[in-house]
Structure 1
């Protein structure tokens, strides 16, 4: 059956609208993929792309400037993200820009955010690689939060045990919290320590004043010693002499000790004299005979002086001694 003109008109309108919709869709898709404009490519290397896919948006300072062209896995820890950027953005993006991977909203798709650098870097060129920064993913954050929660629970349990022990008066802190007598004693001890510290400080201040007064006084011994370098040298010499004398006394003591030890062990004449009683008696008799002989000799000399043969000689000697004594008196 032949179609009517109305049906042909409807068919033509449908074809025209379908073609228009197809052209519009192709333009939108091509515009999203930057197929209908001049573009250039840049690279960024990440360790983890966090679910980033091809054709995801690339933003610069919050503005869509391109899409992800390709994602290349170079090795187990290096992922190269190739981005297709509009050519008009080449004037604005610098080489010190930083690329990060984020999400478009809370539940949106992943995107690449390019943040401007702080310095005045050079303009970027096609094929350049910019710095990348990997943010912590949601899974890592949840894992860290889980560990933190477990640690907090353990810490809370330990704090509960400590608090219970303190309330029961166990341990030093528990006794201090519950024993008022010990607390009072501790308070008195601390007070006494403070008083002792204050007294010690005052004593040191007084000693310091006395020392400074003595140092400033010209007549004090300390002041003279502090100012007179010659006196200091003399004192140094005296100390040196005392040290030398001490060394000599030590040596003398050692020698006397050796002599006494030798006498006690039977060496020498002293030990022989102290132990041999016969020899001592003989020595005593000899000394007695010498004394008696000396007395008899004095008697003989006295008789010899009065003898008529030698009496004149001894008188002459007596006169000369008298004259010598007078001369000494005159000189004095």
Structure 2
């Protein structure tokens, strides 16, 4: 009798514990599925649910607020996901919120994540459809990483080839790295360029100082640069100089011709030529005239190459060429 009572007691305790566990499990599962609280339904349409299943979590700003009720296939490219959300979230979720499908961790189960929008639209009501946005899933991420690794391997191989070429002295960079003579020459060239640059800067500085000292309003240079009348006068003077130079050269030739005739002639002229003192003085005068004409020609050539007057001579030459061509025609 005592044994039967003990067995009944054990059976009763087992039944009570089993019933408690079943009720607790049912409560936990029901609470997870929002079976014991006030809820409302919303939906979202995706092109691909990426393995999402009924019962997966729905998160709003990282907080579990509901579960996936069911997944409905509308057509071959449209899938509607119906969600059960806690009623208290009605005052937080707005119609511009965006639903995306993600994973719980790197290899966890799939879930729907609702991201708040800008807050410019009204709150959702039961039965609304949220906007959706595609997101890279783990498989896509791994595929991308695989491609990235392959590209990195190719880049590493190319970099290894370049490094080996440089170490072997191939190409310009390889020669620069291995040939000390070329490196020294290049260094000397760079040094010379730097020195030339410094000298150029120094010359430009001196030139600027000299130009700063010039009084363009009162100096001759200022008049030449600014006064067109004076410029025309100078052009006329230079033209006259050139004409006079040609005339002096012709006179010199005539004088030389006359002197030859005088030396070979007779009479009074011959008498004059026989006087050595007079002849020497006359020869000295002619030589001085020739030297003066040569100096004048050199001065004219210098003026032709001077930066202030060479423009005029170039114009004069072009004009003379045009006149000559007209005369020939």
Same fold at TM > 0.5 = yes
What TM-score does the superposition give when structure 2 sets the normalisation length? 0.62
TM-aligned CA distance change 1:17 to 1:167, over 3 Å: closer
The equivalent residue for 1:190 is 190
In the TM superposition, residue 41 of structure 1 has moved relative to its aligned partner by 1.9
Correspondences of 1:241-260 after superposition (within 5 Å)? 249-250=320-321, 252-258=323-329
TM-aligned CA distance change 1:46 to 1:231, over 3 Å: farther
Q: Is it true that 1:42 corresponds to 2:42 in the alignment? A: yes
Correspondences of 1:86-235 after superposition (within 5 Å)? 86-119=86-119, 121-214=121-214, 216-224=215-223, 231=229
Once residues 77 and 8 of structure 1 are traced to their aligned partners in structure 2, the CA distance between those partners, rounded to angstroms, is 61
Secondary structure of the structure 2 residue equivalent to 1:52: coil
String of CA shifts for 1:112-135, please: whole Å, max 9, x gaps. Answer: 122333545422222323333333
Q: Is it true that 1:51 corresponds to 2:55 in the alignment? A: no
What CA RMSD, in Å, does the superposition of the two structures yield over aligned residues? 3.9
TM-aligned CA distance change 1:213 to 1:51, over 3 Å: same
String of CA shifts for 1:48-94, please: whole Å, max 9, x gaps. Answer: 32211112111223332111122234455443322111111101122
Larger Rg: 1
What TM-score does the superposition give when structure 1 sets the normalisation length? 0.61
Secondary structure of the structure 2 residue equivalent to 1:198: helix
The equivalent residue for 1:65 is 65
String of CA shifts for 1:244-274, please: whole Å, max 9, x gaps. Answer: 987874554234324xxxxxxxxxxxxxxxx
In the TM superposition, residue 193 of structure 1 has moved relative to its aligned partner by 0.9
Mean Cα deviation higher: 70-79 or 132-141: 70-79
Once residues 230 and 132 of structure 2 are traced to their aligned partners in structure 1, the CA distance between those partners, rounded to angstroms, is 75
TM-aligned CA distance change 1:91 to 1:165, over 3 Å: same
Structure 1, unpaired ranges of 5+: 259-332
In the TM superposition, residue 95 of structure 1 has moved relative to its aligned partner by 2.4
Once residues 316 and 187 of structure 2 are traced to their aligned partners in structure 1, the CA distance between those partners, rounded to angstroms, is 56
Once residues 72 and 325 of structure 2 are traced to their aligned partners in structure 1, the CA distance between those partners, rounded to angstroms, is 96
In the TM superposition, residue 107 of structure 1 has moved relative to its aligned partner by 4.4
